[in-house]
Structure 1
Amino acid sequence: MRKGALALLLLLAPTLAQPLPEALKKAPEVTAVVLARLEAETRRKDLERTLQDPLRTPLAELQARQAWELAEARLKRALAQAENEIASAYAQAYEALLQVGLAEKAVEVAELGLKATEIRLKGGGATSLDLLEAQNRLLEARKNLELAQKGRDSALAALAQLVGPWRPESVKELPTLPEGKVVETLLQEHADLLQLRQSLNLLRFQRGLLDESFAPRKDIEALEDQSQALETNLANLERTLRLGLEARYRQLVPLLQGVKAAEEAYRAAQERYRAEEKRFQAGLTSRLSLLQQELSLRQAELTLEQAKHAYLKAYYGLLASR
């Protein structure tokens, strides 16, 4: 067996199927998070050493504390971004699995449709053009299946890079809308804003150390100019980030509404399939009609999962914007 085929079998092993919350637990193991955690630990130790130094200066203590706080903020961001990447890859992989199932069913429908056309042609109920069209539909369905299988392999491999061999499944429960002042919280924890705030505080601290009686006026004015420039940059960045975060947050409600609409459409498709199945069992409809209804049901299922995933990606994308 080729290595690629063996790897795929491992990826598809039923025992490896796990829900999204289990996959998200792998976020702390993502390389970027591991590196950010090491940096935060290093900065924490630096701060402890600085605080234990009896000869430390207030400036040295401030700089060590700022370095640790910034490293912690970057660790939180790395973890949130890793969860966002995992959620996105998980959703993509599950959709890819559904796409394969949908494509396989389409091939089955096209094969049966071709057989039906061949029989009708022999009985004079179809033309050569009908047969050609049925053959083309089958070729197209098989091509789509091949593309779907390649997409599945690629999506599962991308997910495996983040969490190891994994078979995703349908997301049963979506996270609820973030409560409270989520935008304010994300702005407060945003690493880039924190870095600017720290730089501003450091300049103000350095300005406070200067004695106007001895320090050259140009040095004092230079620090004051730098402070004003940083204040402007900080305000501009915060305004830009706030607009972006508010826009992301506003997307969540309509995306949840889209999930509800897709759920209703899926339930309706289930009802239609059950009705067609009863008709088929009673001999009132053909197997081809039943397969076509099953194909519609699978499409409705895919649409529902895509709606769920759109919300998931927006939700974790918002939390990663810090």
Structure 2
Amino acid sequence: MKKLLLLTLFWLPVLAQPLPEALKKAQEAPAVLNAKLEVETRAKDLARTLEDPLRTPLSELQARQALSLAEARLRRALAQAESEIASAYAQALEASLQVRLAEKALAVAELALKATEIRVKGGGATSLDLLEAQNRVLEAKKNLEAARRGESAARASLENLVGPWKPEPVELPPLPEEGLVERLIQEHADLLQLRQSLELLRFQRGLLDESFAARKDIEALEDQIKTLEVSLGNLERSLRVGLKARYDQLLPLLEGAKAAEKAFQAAKERYAAEEKRFKAGITSQLGLWQQELALLQAELSLAQARHAYLKAYYGLLASR
């Protein structure tokens, strides 16, 4: 009975839930939880440092830097977890559409096979036509099996991130302002770590008095500062170029999604017209199903275009 109950619970339908709700699960990702613990630890360290009457400016600076870096790494972990969820969510949606498309393709192929069999009996088709129709059915069955396997894998990947979840069509976020690139540069954890190292070296240099420190030690520290300045500048330029390129991809992807939306609406209109023709006895069941298949293909293309923008959007936000 326990096994039966578990199986029954497993097969209960999962209500469709929107992407914003799924993204909230990013707070529970292991990397995010670890980053939160690090922030809490560094915050306590800073509090203890500030309470220490014997603290030095250097120890306070290091404690503040540690907390700031932990917070930046938490923002990165959260953005990366959201990007991973958005990608898995989109993949699960597309996989479901692939199954629907494959199911309809099989139905069309089987109906076409029946029509061919009738034509062969009536002398209107050859045995080669029949063989081709049979092959199309076999191919459609293979495609459906592959689509169902893909759906199972995609659902499992999403469930691994957010638990049992039935995705629904997403609302696309608007194109972000161009200032996002500079904000990501400022918040980038690797850049922040380099900036902090440079700040620390400059602080240490300020503590050295030429009257008491050897010149070679001062020069060695100054060389380290110059080297780090060059590394920081190179990394910042490289990141800016990469982030700007990724940002510039968003508009074409968004326009592609809008174009796919228009194509989908046109396919819906064609299907509606074909449905009227079928009811009027002008076209066949096969013709109607073929038009429905074209509609499903347009729907899948729309989902793929929308998800390409969605994944690029959240992927950009995770680049910090």
Q: What is the identity, as a one-letter code, of the residue corresponding to 1:227?
A: I
CA distance in 2, matches of 1:8, 1:94: 24
Q: Structure 1: which 4+ aligned runs deviate by more than 6 Å?
A: 6-9
Superposition deviation, residue 16 in structure 1: 2.9
**TM-score, normalisation: structure 2:** 0.96
Output the TM-score relative to the length of structure 1. Answer: 0.96
Task: Give the one of 195, 200, 203 matched to 1:202.
Answer: 200
Task: Report the counterpart of residue 103 of structure 2 in structure 1.
Answer: 104
Residue of structure 2 equivalent to 1:82: 81
Instruction: Give the corresponding residue for 2:159.
Output: 160
* Alignment equivalent of 2:258, drawn from 260, 266, 270: 260
For 1:3-62, what per-residue CA distance to the aligned partner results, in whole angstroms no more than 9, with x for missing partners? 9xx88984x754431011110111111111011111111111100011101111111111
**Counterpart contact for 1:112–1:288, Cα < 8 Å:** yes
Q: Distance in 1 between matches of 2:157 and 2:14?
A: 19
Match of 2:127 in 1: 128
Separation in 2, partners of 1:164, 1:283 = 48
1:124 aligned counterpart, secondary structure? coil
Counterpart of 1:78 in structure 2: which amino acid? A
CA deviations over 1:118-171 (Å, ceiling 9, x no partner) = 111101011100010000000000000000000000000000111011111111
Q: C-alpha deviations, 1:177-200, integer Å up to 9, x for none?
A: 112511110000000000000000
Q: 1:232 to 1:254 in 2, by over 3 A?
A: same
User: 2: distance between equivalents of 1:284 and 1:122?
Assistant: 24
- For residues 122 and 275 of structure 1, the distance between their equivalents in structure 2, rounded to whole angstroms, comes to 32
1:143 aligns with 2:111: no
Rounded to whole Å, the distance in 1 between the matches of 2:60 and 2:226 is 24
Change (3 A) 1:148 1:131: same
Structure 1 Cα separation of the partners of residues 15 and 269 of structure 2: 32
Deviations 1:244-281 (A, max 9, x none): 01001111111111011101100110011001101111
| Structure 1 spans left out of the alignment, 5+ residues | none
> Which of 235, 242, 245 is the matching residue for 2:243?
245
Q: Counterpart amino acid of 1:277?
A: E
Q: Which amino acid aligns with 1:113?
A: A
Whole-Å separation in 1 of the counterparts to 2:64 and 2:37: 16
Cα offset for 1:228? 0.4
**Corresponding residue pairs, total:** 317
CA distance in 2, matches of 1:86, 1:218: 53
Once residues 230 and 49 of structure 1 are traced to their aligned partners in structure 2, the CA distance between those partners, rounded to angstroms, is: 30
Identical counterparts, % of pairs:
75
